[in-house]
Amino acid sequence: MIGRNAPGRVVALSPHFDDALMSVGGLLAALDAPVTVVTVHGGVPPDGTASEWDRLCGFASGAEAARARALEDRRACGVIGADPVHLAYPDGIYGAPSSLDALTEVIERLVTEDALVLVPAAVCRHADHHRTRDAALAALAGLDADVWLYADQPYAGRSRHWGGPGAESLADDVWRDRMAPAVTRFGLAEARTVRLTARDWAVKHRAVLAYASQLVPLATYAGHFLAFEGPLNTELVWRVGARPVAARPVREERTEAR
Ligand SMILES: [Zn+2]
């Protein structure tokens, strides 16, 4: 298990519906504390347009997609016993927000000293993931919480280093570049690879299946990600400092299943 002590509360930040549970759903289900999953781009865009992705997922408009995904997220969070919070920012594809003040506010409201916070590492190119990470770390810098970055799925599973020590130590050049803004400013003190037990996988799998509208298109490029031996059975997190520090090398520590 991760964390300095038994956390009093767990707050997982998810750029979009499904990111947090797909990436660390096993950890979230296993942590013995109340869990809140905050979806940053959880709002409804103006009606009348649909992104290519939303069309691919079977929706006639972005608004219809957002409403359906909010319901899916409530079901998924219900599977792991988490409390969902949806911020009002639409998916960034409908226009990037000028700030994420609502995220700062929710962090200040929910994150207590005994909280464990999970933040997307943004190993992908997606601007919404980078924006969420950077705004969250800025808001968390003055708080004394236990903060961890998580490798974002289904993107992380496509690295040839996935599941091995190379992923933990950022041997992947692409990841290193994408995570540089966070690593340079805060450093990564510790890495943890978690392989889910069959029981924890079964819970995570059930939660991920709740995001039904996105699973078929995701499978076209993420392959066998719903299989027991697939990439979602591994979760990877890095502990970061709560305040800016000089960059430190990642300690190569590998922890097998709980
Ligand atoms: Zn995402």
Kindly report the CATH number assigned to the domain that includes residue 19. 3.40.50.10320
pLDDT at 3: 74
CA of 124 to the centre of ligand 1 (A): 9
pLDDT at 242: 55
- Does residue 87 belong to any structural domain of this protein? yes
CA of 150 to the centre of ligand 1 (A): 12
**Domain of 99, in residue numbers:** 9-240
Instruction: Look up residue 23 and give its two tokens.
Output: 């990436």
- Does residue 63 belong to any structural domain of this protein? yes
Q: Going from the first residue of the chain to its last (258 residues), give the mean pLDDT of each consecutive group of 10, the final group possibly shorter.
A: 83 98 96 97 92 94 97 98 98 95 98 96 97 97 93 95 95 96 92 94 96 91 86 96 56 44
CA of 22 to the centre of ligand 1 (A): 10
pLDDT at 214: 93
CA of 171 to the centre of ligand 1 (A): 23
Give the pLDDT confidence of 134-172 residue by residue, as tens digits: 999 999 998 989 999 999 999 999 999 999 999 999 999
CA of 114 to the centre of ligand 1 (A): 27
CA of 194 to the centre of ligand 1 (A): 21
Residue of 254, 255, 201, 206 whose CA lies nearest to 230: 201
CA of 154 to the centre of ligand 1 (A): 9
**What's the pTM?**
0.92
CA of 40 to the centre of ligand 1 (A): 10
CA of 129 to the centre of ligand 1 (A): 6
pLDDT at 245: 54
Domain count, the chain: 1
47 burial level (CB within 10 Å; 0-12, 13-18, 19+): exposed
- Does residue 219 belong to any structural domain of this protein? yes
- Does residue 256 belong to any structural domain of this protein? no
pLDDT at 89: 98
Question: Cα(108)–Cα(120) distance, rounded to whole angstroms?
Answer: 18
Question: Cα(171)–Cα(247) distance, rounded to whole angstroms?
Answer: 16
CA of 16 to the centre of ligand 1 (A): 5
pLDDT at 252: 46
CA of 15 to the centre of ligand 1 (A): 5
- Does residue 26 belong to any structural domain of this protein? yes
Distances from the Cα of 98 to the Cαs of 131, 177, 225, in angstroms?
10, 24, 34
- Does residue 250 belong to any structural domain of this protein? no
CA of 179 to the centre of ligand 1 (A): 15
* Segments of the chain assigned E as strands: 9-14, 35-39, 83-86, 115-120, 146-150, 188-195, 234-240
| Residue position matching structure tokens 């020590």 | 165
- Does residue 255 belong to any structural domain of this protein? no
CA of 128 to the centre of ligand 1 (A): 7
- Does residue 249 belong to any structural domain of this protein? no
pLDDT at 65: 97
pLDDT at 247: 47
Q: Are 233 and 201 in contact (CB under 8 A)?
A: yes
CA of 19 to the centre of ligand 1 (A): 5
pLDDT at 211: 97
